[in-house]
Amino acid sequence: MADYQRIYDERAEAYDALVAREDHAQNLLAALRAIRPLEGIDVVETGAGTGRVTRMVAPFARSVRAFDRSAHMLDVARSRLAADGARNVALAVASHASLPVDDASADLALEGWAFGHAVGWNPSGWVAEVEAHVRELARTLRPGGTLVLIETQGTSVEEPFAGGHALEPLHRHLVTALGFAHRCVRTDYAFASLDEAVERVGFFFGDAMVARLRARGTTTLPECTGVYWR
Ligand SMILES: C[S@@+](CC[C@H](N)C(=O)[O-])C[C@H]1O[C@@H](n2cnc3c(N)ncnc32)[C@H](O)[C@@H]1O
């Protein structure tokens, strides 16, 4: 498995180039807007990384306060947001565990592809860790606010968790113990060429994924993404 922490500390540009190819059909924004209209709302985001979700919601929101523990990832987010001309986004280094945000000050609190790392990084304690992070995000919500988590349900698969996936226990916990509604959104990658796909995918998903890509011989890579809300 890739050393994700090192990627987030040292390879933010490569990460951003990979995720820029994801969700080429732009299904995720439509899914978010169906859950919670984004116009004029205040958003808090943790694990914002290079700003993929931040940039999705910023054009509609009144304000976005976005956090990540990697200053390196946020540097890329800052330059992408500046290029977009976004003026309503504040970025800062912070941990999921303690967000520098007042209680009850947001309409939407979210994370994308960030909480799931606890499953691999903290195998015996991820349930308590994820629950604490969910509570911390929920703390920031006004009454009637919406909490949204976005997590992978599998790469190179056409159905959620096809063939098994390390984050399936997280999915079950979010749905059965924490009461999240959920849906699967296809966020397939589309690359300009097979060479580009191989170059972008390998460092993050590993050699086995590159082999699968070569075997498929296509420039698209299916991805199932779980969107959870309550
Ligand atoms: C897979 S990236 C997702 C980034 C972004 N949300 C996106 O959609 O591309 C995971 C991010 O979570 C951040 N992260 C992991 N654990 C964290 C923690 N405990 N507190 C804050 N950020 C964390 C990492 O630094 C990384 O930027």
Q: pLDDT tens-digit profile of 15-28?
A: 999 999 999 999 99
pLDDT of 161 above 80? yes
Q: What is the mean pLDDT of residues 220-227?
A: 96
Q: What is the mean pLDDT of residues 75-84?
A: 98
Confidence band, pLDDT 50/70/90 cuts, at residue 2? confident
pLDDT of 218 above 90? no
> What is the Å distance from ligand 1's center to 13 Cα?
14
Ligand 1 atom index nearest CA of 12: 27
Does the CB atom of residue 118 touch ligand 1 within 6 A?
no
Ligand 1 atom index nearest CA of 112: 6
pLDDT of 1 above 80? no
Does the CB atom of residue 47 touch ligand 1 within 6 A?
yes
Domain ranges of the chain: 4-229
pLDDT of 63 above 80? yes
What is each CA distance from 9 to 4, 21, 53, 185, 197, in whole angstroms? 9, 21, 19, 28, 23
Asked if residues 91 and 67 have their Cβ atoms less than 8 Å apart, the reply is: yes
Q: Whose CA is closest to atom 13 on ligand 1?
A: 47
Does the CB atom of residue 96 touch ligand 1 within 6 A?
yes
- Confidence (pLDDT) at 44: 99
> What is the Å distance from ligand 1's center to 97 Cα?
12
Q: Whose CA is closest to atom 10 on ligand 1?
A: 114
- Confidence (pLDDT) at 133: 98
Q: What is the mean pLDDT of residues 203-229?
A: 92
> What is the Å distance from ligand 1's center to 52 Cα?
11
Classify domain 4-229 by CATH number: 3.40.50.150
Q: Whose CA is closest to atom 25 on ligand 1?
A: 70
Does the CB atom of residue 112 touch ligand 1 within 6 A?
yes
- Confidence (pLDDT) at 223: 97
> What is the Å distance from ligand 1's center to 10 Cα?
13
Mean pLDDT of the chain: 96
